[in-house]
Structure 1
Amino acid sequence: MHPSRPAFWVSPVLCAAVLVAGVYAALVGLGTTHLPLLVGGLVALVVLDLAEFRRYPVRTPKPVAAGLLALRAVLYVGVAYVDGSGLARLLLLLLPFTAYFAFGRTVAVVLGAACLAVAVVSTPDWYAHVEQVSDLVMFTVGLVLTIATAAVAVRERDGRIRLQESHRTVAELSAAAERARVARDLHDDLGHHLTAIVVQLEKAAAFHDHEPAVAKTAVLDAERSARRALNDVRASVRSLRSFDLLTALDDLAGDDVVLVVSGSPDGHDTGALHALYRAAQEGITNARRHAAATRIEVRVELDAEGAKLTVSDDGRGMGTAAEGFGLLGMRERVALAGGRVDLAGTSPGTRLTVTIPGPA
């Protein structure tokens, strides 16, 4: 049975109880029991339940549920008519119980009241017999319990549906976040190295005729940048579980970068350290590519209160150009780490500041 179908066992259990009581009544001669008809009616009810649950494992559409409810009512009355034990009228409890799943509490309560009225009308002079009064009281209690059980089952079913929807939403958000992370990594890794390659190749082209040695050195630097790009791509494909910020910054810094680090990365979240590294990478790339800077300083401060990165240069400043994908990705990455990004123009140059609070 589909796990999303709540309380599917109630109807088969009641049918089994009626069958046992009917067989016993037929064996001892209690009342008039037409055993073949009783068994056939109960089997029909169970098959009907199984067919509905298989076709509609979570919720039966209202038009279909109304037709099945009417068919069940006919079968319940027929089974009660051929049962000599009198227990078959308990099957009427299944009418409000089943109706609750498709139509809600109001319809279930109305049907429960109707079933109680039928039970009272079909028991003449019930008030004059203690046994019949007791039976009606128990029938009323059974109605209350079945409606309450249906209410709990419906809440459980709706809760499962909401939980499944939440799981789907989380999966979609996770996939979107992963796509954004991959996009940031591609831009930060490949963008940085490709920029260096372009700069070196432009330098080689400019000095090719006048200073071949300088041009050759630029080509070799471009080759090294290409190899670094390849290594970074391979490293990104692997799921890195450790990250050494200081080593990564040393590899990132070149001859035109002054690196100053104070404090220790121990105790800081790996995601925060990655965010700092990516911010440094983006700041250095922008300073080299757009600001025409001759001096770049990267300062990292790590302490118990948090982590702070400052990238400053002596280039031509920010100007009025809009922020590109690199800065957008950096802001997203730092925001995910709980930090903030400040970008300001200086005289001369630009200063990028990233601040990430320490772990709680």
Structure 2
Amino acid sequence: MAGMFKTLKLSKPLSLAAGFVAMFLLVLLAFKLLGPREAVVALWFEHQGPGASLSRDVQQCALFAVDYFNIAERGRGLRVRPLVVTGMSDREAVDAIKKAKASVVLVGATSGFVSRVHPLLEREGIPAIATNANAPALAVEGDLLFRYSGPSGAVELGEMVRSHLPGFKRYLAVLDSSNLVYTKGQLDGFSTGLGIPPKKTLMGSPGDLYDAFRLEVVAGGYDGFYLAMPAYYAGVFMEIVGNLKGPAPCAVAGWGVSSVSASLAGPESLGYSVVFSPVELDMGHPFMRYLQERIAGLPPLPAVDSGYGAVSMALEAVLVGPKGQEGAAEALKAMKTVKTLRGEFPVDRAGDAVLPLYLVRYDGSAWRNMGEVGGR
């Protein structure tokens, strides 16, 4: 019987081939075990409506920030894979996020959009980081919404107007009704800081309010105007005031402050706002140099600031916390500071970054940074 079985001997070339295969499999296994860990970060931004322009800018900046972090943080053993669900239906977006097992979702860029989609993610136990949704109503301790843009600046703007513009008393307020969770909250904060409610409030789509606003300005009776609307319309409405009343002061919610409103407002306009993101950034920061090397013209700097800051929060959560959504949520709840383009700032009990606020003034050509408010 023994003669029936013979020892199988491999030829030398076959032995070498088998050795190479075994070595390749060992290297592959080692790479899987020791190589960079991958984490999926989803991006869900407003696709249409008054916040779509801002959302496009912030989402693009966030994608640049993910690419930058994948290069800069390569040695920390993590690679972030972005998943863009912007433009999908709510159900499609949630399903795609769940299927990809995204650790965290960046949402933005308006409070109205965030207040609509955040509960959908909350029900699934998926943490979200808002880039620009700074409505005070969204500051809820213990939920799964964490915000890069915690401060709203509304009360501080009212206080500034009260102390520096004593003639600002009989004012007309105009609110974009598509984002009332933000615009109504901003007016409430402004009137609280000022100590005076508006004489009259126009509420609706800014495009539909154009003629009514013009008639109110022509009729007179106002010594100031409060505008809570996107940058494009803020610039147009400021121009109406400048053309019809000269440099009558316009107090503008932070949503309306950008290079877009500055390009439209005109030389006769005068505007003030308090914003969490300055109109200037340190162009020597490595991320700013990274952007300049890749694109000809920089996006609006507040969008750069928000996109980078939100990605920074997400990256820290997936680096520090255990893998998955629950781990990212726990890391976000425990987060004490966030690293931004302007330094490191604390995170409050609601999980929102406590960023400094800046007074900005439109002087007929551009929004100028007048300095930090209240030593925050």
User: TM bucket by the smaller chain?
Assistant: under 0.3
Q: Structure 1 or 2: larger helix share?
A: 1
Instruction: Calculate the TM-score normalised by the size of structure 2.
Output: 0.27
Q: Structure 1 or 2: larger strand share?
A: 2
Larger-gyration structure (1/2) = 1
Instruction: Calculate the TM-score normalised by the size of structure 1.
Output: 0.27
